[in-house]
Structure 1
């Protein structure tokens, strides 16, 4: 029993250490370029500040949510809209895409879709717009 508790504690420590990726610091451009991943607010903001002119910024919330406030320069593509997949396909797969929703659910699903579609760089905002404000 004692060995079981020791192993359990060791595994818990490893699990927590491996999953604690948000140090509050922004990852560098090189660390996120050519990857499709969820990133912290700090990394999202730093990447947007550095590459804003070349980024395709997409708000996947409903038009009503979008109208209530969004990140400057974001284009609205309604996750629930009938043409959502074709709207995503209209984006340039070789240019960085940054996506967000309200809290991360819809944008997380969008991230997976974009991976399957072959987008090279996709950054999804951890915590969504709720964490941005």
Structure 2
């Protein structure tokens, strides 16, 4: 039973950490707020796009730097530092920085945002929904450079290789549900096993007690036999 309980605790901890990993210190904004952020800060804003190169080339906010979505966390952080160095704002903590990605709840953007906040940057925001929902094309350009090849005149087609991502929060919730089901299963399994063990122990105790009583009965019988024999001899002599 202890083994199952430990297993359940480990799974619960894993689910909790998965769920916690979707939470950051970031400042989310909806599309309108992100546009306002760009309009208010103009060219002084550093915009970072965390998606696949294919979708970045198809359409991105003018001036946005690309961080490849497929990179590891360390690679993404290094790329962020490189962008800040390129802009010459590594030590200017009040620099306005906006981030976006193509995750359902802006998960990757929020992670980089949290990294920036951890470095002391105080004026950072991230788009709280997938960039594929962006519907104002006057902010967008196509091409593989921040300035792009030119403005968009129609909605981007977004290649399928980079246009869909599972929401990490949804994954965490599903994972928590699976862990809960597994935990309940093992709980009842351990409880059932415990009941079987208890019943078996009771039966063994009853057998042991019955055997002890039987042995005691035989012992008493053996002690009575010499007495009876002596009494018989005494009667014969008379």
TM-score range, shorter chain: 0.5 to 0.7
* Residues 117 and 128 of structure 1, relative CA distance in 2, 3 Å threshold: farther
How many residues end up aligned between the 2 structures?
Answer: 99
Q: Give me the whole-angstrom Cα distance separating, in 1, the residues matched to 2:109 and 2:70.
A: 12
Alpha-carbon displacement from aligned partner over 1:9-68 (angstroms, at most 9, x marks no partner)? xxxxxxxxxxxxxxxxxxxxxxxxxx9511121111012012121000110112122112
TM-score by length of 1: 0.65
For normalisation by structure 2, the TM-score amounts to 0.38
Write the mapping of 1:36-115 to structure 2, written as runs, cut at 5 A: 36-81=26-71, 83-90=75-82, 91=84, 92=89, 93-103=93-103, 104-115=106-117
Moved over 6 A (4+): none
**Partner secondary structure for residue 108 of structure 2:** helix
Shift of 1:116: 1.6
Q: What does residue 197 of structure 2 align with? A: none
Root mean square deviation, CA, Å: 2.0
Q: Go from structure 1 to structure 2 and tell me whether the alpha carbon gap of 1:122 and 1:78 turns closer, same or farther (over 3 Å shift).
A: same
Aligned residues of 1:36 and 1:121 also touching (Cα < 8 A): no
Q: Is the 8 A contact 2:26 2:110 kept in 1?
A: no
The farther-off stretch of 46-55 and 105-114 is 105-114
Which structure has the larger Rg?
A: 2
Asked if structure 1 preserves the Cα contact closer than 8 Å seen for 2:99 and 2:109, the reply is yes
Deviation at 1:130, TM superposition (A): 2.0
Aligned to 1:118: 120
Question: Looking at both structures, which has the greater relative contact order when contacts are Cα pairs under 8 Å and sequence separation is at least 6?
Answer: 1
Q: Which ranges of structure 1 fall in alignment gaps of 5 or more residues?
A: 1-34
Distance 1:36 1:96, change over 3 A: farther
Gapped regions of structure 2 (runs ≥ 5):
1-24, 136-238
